[in-house]
Amino acid sequence: MATEIRSRNAIVSRQPYELYMAFVDMRNFLQFLPEDKKQGVTADYDSIKGTVQGFNVGVRVAERIPYSRIDFKDDGAPFQFGVSMFFDPAAEAGKTDFHIEFTAELNFMMKMLLGSKLKEALDKMVTALADASEGKMPEGFDPSRYGFGK
């Protein structure tokens, strides 16, 4: 049975099309990696591949629904998984109601070990994106590196 994990929803101060366009090209993900993690990572428009803790891991875009949703799936990972990013118009004009959903075929032990950590990681990603869109940056963070003004 598939494990399904949904992040929290957050309001991002960007229009859905702006946010969608930041994630639609897998090459854009390279800019989010620290310099010391970029070696051996390759990306093109549809996929990104690299080595994580000794495992070859790849992610490929499975479907793009313009300005609304992007679905990703594993592409050579040690287990099957999928990730969907949702870009829904928020009640407030010019903003996006954003969340991420993760699905994977995890056995009971892996689910127990990873389930809460995956939920926490998804929530942190959503929160960080919402905070960055509001200009809330951690010390030493360069927002221009991620497409946001200073």
Tell me: the pLDDT tens digits for 36-92?
878 889 999 999 999 877 788 899 999 999 999 999 999 987 778 999 999 999 999
Banded model confidence at residue 143, pLDDT cuts 50, 70, 90? low
- pLDDT > 70 in the chain, percent: 90
**4 and 105 Cβ atoms separated by less than 8 Å:** no
Domain boundaries, the chain: 3-140
Q: Residue 76 has which token pair?
A: 């050579």
Distance CA 14, CA 68 (A): 13
**24 and 70 Cβ atoms separated by less than 8 Å:** yes
Region 94-98 average pLDDT: 96
Query: What's the N-to-C CA distance of the chain in angstroms?
Result: 45
Tell me which residue of 6, 2, 3, 5 sits closest to 99, measured CA to CA: 6
Q: Name which residue leads in pLDDT, 11 or 149.
A: 11
pLDDT at 150 over 50: no
In this structure, which topology does domain 3-140 adopt according to CATH? Answer: Alpha-D-Glucose-1,6-Bisphosphate; Chain A, domain 4 (3.30.530)
Q: How far is CA 55 from CA 12, 77, 88, in A?
A: 33, 8, 34
